[in-house]
Structure 1
Amino acid sequence: MSKWWRQIVGGLPVTFWYLWTASLINRTGAVGQLYLGVYLLSVRHFDAAYAGLVIGLGGAGTALGALPGGILADRWGRRPTMLAAGLPAAITMLFLGHATGRASILILSTLLGVFLGAVRPAFTASIIDVVAVADRGRALNLNYWAFNLGSGAAALLAGLLVRVEPALLFALNAGVLLFSTLLLAWKVPETRPAPATTATTPAGPGTVARDRVFLTFVGLAMLGWTMIETNKILPVALTADGLDVTSYGQVIVVNMALIVIGQLFLLRLTEHRRREHVLAVSAMAAGLGFGLVPLADTLWAYALTVAVWTIGEMLMTVANSALTVELAPPEARGRYQGVFSFGLTAAMFVGPSLGGLVADRFGPDTLWVAVLGLGMLLTAAHLAAGPPQNRRLAQLRLVSEHAAPHRSSCRDEPGTAA
C-alpha cells in the first residue's frame, strides 16, 4: 500500500503541492458556484429555464475568459494572470449573493465566469510547467482528484448553508476565492518556461487555429462535457418525482465520492490504453447514465444513474487531460490550454441552458433520451478521430526527440523549476 501511495503522490515538486492545495481549498468553499441552480430554484423561486440561463451564461463567461487567459498566460505570465483575475472573481461572487434583479444576476454570473475562466489556463499551465514530462498525467489527475474531493465537501456544506442562511453560500465562496488567490501570490512563483527551453520558432496567435487535429479533439471534448453538464438540470427531474430539490446535493455527492475513490486508480488502469478507446467508452457510459434518468423515481435510483455517468466522466477527464498536454507545443501551452478550457467551459453554457430549455418545452425525459443519443454518436466519433490524433502525436514525438539535445543543455528545464 505504501509503495502504491508513493507511486501516486511521490516525486512531485513543492510548487505543485501549493497549486494542489489552492485547488482543494477553492473547491471546498465553492458552495455558491455549486448550489447556484438550487438557490435560484428553491430560494428565489425562478423557473428552470431562467436558472439554466444563469448557469449557462456563467459557463459562457468562463469560456470567453479562457481564450484571453491563455494568451496572457503565455505573454504576461502564469502568476500575474491568476492574481489579476482571482481578486475580481471574489468581489463578483460577493455581489452575486446580494443581487435581486434578473438582469443583475445574469450580468454578475457572466462576469464571474469570465474571471474564473481567465485563471484556468494559467493554473493548468503552471502545473504542466513545474512537473516533469513523465509525471504530468499523474499531476493533472491529482489536481482533478482534489477538485472533486473539495466539491464533495462543498455539496454537503452547501446543503446545510442553504437551509440556515442562503447568503452565506456566496459570502463563504467569495472568502475562499480571495484566500486561494492570496496563497498563490504567496507561495507560487512564475513558472512560464524561459525562451531557451521552448522551440526556436515562437508560436503566433494563429497556431491553435491552424491545428485541425487539436480543434477536432476540442470539439469532441466540448460535446462530451456538454453531456456531463446536463447534470445541473437533475433538480428538475428530482422535483418532478416529488423529491426535495435539495436532494440534488445528496445524489451529486455520489459523483464526487466515486471520483475521489476511483480517480487515484484509474490513471494506472488506462495509461497503456489507446486514447480514442478510452474516450469512446467514456462517451458511452456518460450517455447511458443520463439515459437511465427517466427510469429513476427514488433517491437511490438517481444515485445509481449518477454512478454510471460518473464512470464516463472519470474516463473522459483522464484521456482529455493527457491529450491536451501531448498535443500542445511548449511555446503555446497557455494558448492550447485556453482553447481547451474554452471548449469545456462552452459546454457549461450549452449543457445547462439548452438542457433547461428542452426540459421546459418537451419535458425532462426528452432531454435524457437526447443525451443518450449524443453519447452514442460521440462513441463513434472518438473512434474515427483516433488515427489522425495518433499520427500527430508521432510527429510531435519526433520533433521532441530532435529538440532534446538543446533542452538538455538548458539549466532551467520545465518540470524541474520550483
Structure 2
Amino acid sequence: MPLATLRRAARETVSGLPREFWWLWTSTLVNRLGAFVATFMALYLTLDRGYSASYAGLVASLHGLGGVVSSIGAGVMTDRLGRRPTLLIAQSGTAASVALLGFMHHPVAIAGVAFLVGMASNASRPAVQAMMADIVRPEDRVRAFSLNYWAINLGFAVSSMGAGFIAAYSYLAGFLIEAGMTAVCAVVVFLKLPESRPSLNKNAEEATDDVGLGTVLRDRRFMSVVGLSFLVALIFQQGSIGLPVAMGNAGFTPADYGMAIAVNGVLIVALQIPVTRFIQHRDPKRLLVVSSLLAGYGFGLTAFAGSVGLIALTVCVWTLGEMINAPTQTGLVVRLSPTRGRGRYQGMYTLSWSAAALVAPLMSGFVIDRFGTAWLWGLCAVVGTVAAIGYGALMRHLPAEEPTSPLGRVRQEGQEVGPSVG
C-alpha cells in the first residue's frame, strides 16, 4: 500500500473525535505504559518468591475476585455519581494498593492486597467505556474503541519489553513505577476530563433508577452476550496466566516471556488501524465468530511450540482474534445498552472479564499441575469453538443504535475535535 494511502487512512481514523476522548485516550496510554504487575505477577510469585503454580493461580484469582466485587458497584457508581468521580476513586485506589503490594511478603498479605488491587483497578472500566459512549457519535464508536484499545496495547508493548528487564533488577521497582503512572492518570482525569453523564438534572437522575440491575439481568440477549464474553475472556486470560507459567516450567526466562508476549502489543500497534477500517462496517456476528475461533485455536497451537519464535507465532494468531473481538464486542455492548443505564450495563459486561480473571487462574493452575500444559491449550481450542457457535446462534436481528445524546451532540458541535490533546 502506498505511503500516501497509509497516511490518509491514519488521518481518517483519528479525525473527527472530541477533545475529551483524546484526554481519556492519553490517560489510558499512560496507565498501560506502567502496567507491569498484572503481566509479571505469576513469574514474581513462582520464580522470585518460590511459590507453586497453584498458589500463583490462587492469588491471580483473588485479584479477579476483587474485580468481580467491584464490577457491579462501579457500574452503579458510574450512573449515580458520574464517570469522572468513579475514575478518580478507582485510579487513586489502584495507585495506593499497587504500591502496598510491592512491600507485602507474607502469603496471606500478598493474597489480601492482590484482592484490593483487583477491586480498584477494575472499577475504572465501566466509567471509561460509558464516558466514551457518551462523548462519541454512534457511527464513530467502533473506531473510538479501537483507538483506545490501540493505546492500551501501545503501552502494553512498551511495558512488557521493559518490565522483563526491570523484573530482573527489582520486582519492587515495577510495583512502584506502576503506582506512580496510575497516579499520573488520576491527575489527568482531575485536570482535563469534565463529567459526561447524560443525566444532568434531578428528573433525569430519577429516571436513571428505571434501569436497575434487575433490568440488566432480565435482558436475555445482553446476558447471553455477557456469557459468551466470559468464555472468550477465559481464553485471552491465558496470555498473562497460563502462558508465563508454562514458559517458566519449560525453562524460559522472564525476559523470554516478555519478548514473546510483547508481540501481542506490537502487532496491535502496527495493525489495529487497518483492521479497524476493515471491520468498522461489517457484520458483528461474523466478526465475533471468527475472532473466537482465532483465539481458541491460536492458544491451542501453543501445545506445538517449543521455542520463543514459535510461541511468538501462536501469539500472532490469537492477537488477530483479539484485535477483531475487542472493539466489536465493546461496540455491541453499547448498542444493546440504554443511554441512561450505560454504567450498569458496562459493569455487567466488565463482570464477565472479572469473572474470567477469577476462574482462569484456578483453571490453568489446576490443569497445568494435574495434566500438563498441552491439556490447557486443547481446552482453549474447545472453549473458542463453543463461543463461536454461541455467537453464530445469538447475533440475529440486532437493534438499531441509539442516537447520540443531546450532551454528546453539544460537546461535539461546540468543542474542537481532532487528535490533538494539547
* Gap runs ≥5 in structure 2: 1-5, 416-422
Q: How far apart are the structure 1 equivalents of 2:413 and 2:101?
A: 40
Q: In the alignment, is the contact (CA less than 8 A) between 1:193 and 1:413 conserved in 2?
A: no
TM-score when normalising by structure 2 = 0.91
* Per-residue deviation, 1:79: 0.9
Tell whether 2:224 aligns with 1:216.
Answer: yes
TM-score when normalising by structure 1 = 0.92
* Gap runs ≥5 in structure 1: none
Q: In the alignment, is the contact (CA less than 8 A) between 1:193 and 1:414 conserved in 2?
A: no
Structure 2 partner of 1:278: 287
4+ residue runs of structure 1 moved beyond 6 angstroms?
196-200
Structure 2 partner of 1:259: 268
The structure 2 residue matched to 1:225, chosen from 204, 209, 233, is 233
* Per-residue deviation, 1:261: 1.1
Q: How far apart are the structure 2 equivalents of 1:278 and 1:90?
A: 36
Q: How far apart are the structure 2 equivalents of 1:254 and 1:343?
A: 26
Structure 1 partner of 2:303: 294
Change over 3 Å in CA distance of 1:411–1:239 after alignment to 2: closer
* Per-residue deviation, 1:411: 9.2
The structure 2 residue matched to 1:171, chosen from 154, 169, 176, is 176
SS for the counterpart of 1:242 is: coil
- The C-alpha deviation readout for 1:86-111, integer Å capped at 9, x for no partner, is 21211110110010011111111111
Structure 2 partner of 1:150: 155
Structure 2 partner of 1:315: 324
Tell whether 2:110 aligns with 1:101.
Answer: no
Tell whether 2:109 aligns with 1:71.
Answer: no
Q: How far apart are the structure 2 equivalents of 1:329 and 1:414?
A: 20
- The C-alpha deviation readout for 1:375-394, integer Å capped at 9, x for no partner, is 1121111101112xx24x14
Q: Where do 1:306-345 residues align within 5 Å?
A: 306-345=315-354
Q: How far apart are the structure 2 equivalents of 1:263 and 1:140?
A: 11
Q: How many residues align?
A: 406
Code of the residue aligned with 1:377 in structure 2: it is V
* Per-residue deviation, 1:338: 0.7
Q: Where do 1:4-23 residues align within 5 Å?
A: 4-23=9-28
Tell whether 2:38 aligns with 1:33.
Answer: yes
The structure 2 residue matched to 1:187, chosen from 185, 192, 195, is 192
Q: How far apart are the structure 2 equivalents of 1:44 and 1:8?
A: 45
The structure 1 residue matched to 2:88, chosen from 79, 83, 88, is 83
Tell whether 2:382 aligns with 1:377.
Answer: no
- The C-alpha deviation readout for 1:46-77, integer Å capped at 9, x for no partner, is 11111122112212211221111111111111
- The C-alpha deviation readout for 1:111-137, integer Å capped at 9, x for no partner, is 111111211111221122122222121
Q: In the alignment, is the contact (CA less than 8 A) between 1:78 and 1:190 conserved in 2?
A: yes
Structure 2 partner of 1:364: 373
* Per-residue deviation, 1:414: 6.6
CA RMSD of aligned residues (A): 2.1
Change over 3 Å in CA distance of 1:75–1:417 after alignment to 2: farther
Code of the residue aligned with 1:204 in structure 2: it is V
* Per-residue deviation, 1:291: 1.0
* % same residue: 36
Change over 3 Å in CA distance of 1:165–1:199 after alignment to 2: closer
Code of the residue aligned with 1:69 in structure 2: it is A
Q: In the alignment, is the contact (CA less than 8 A) between 1:64 and 1:117 conserved in 2?
A: no
Q: How far apart are the structure 1 equivalents of 2:72 and 2:92?
A: 19
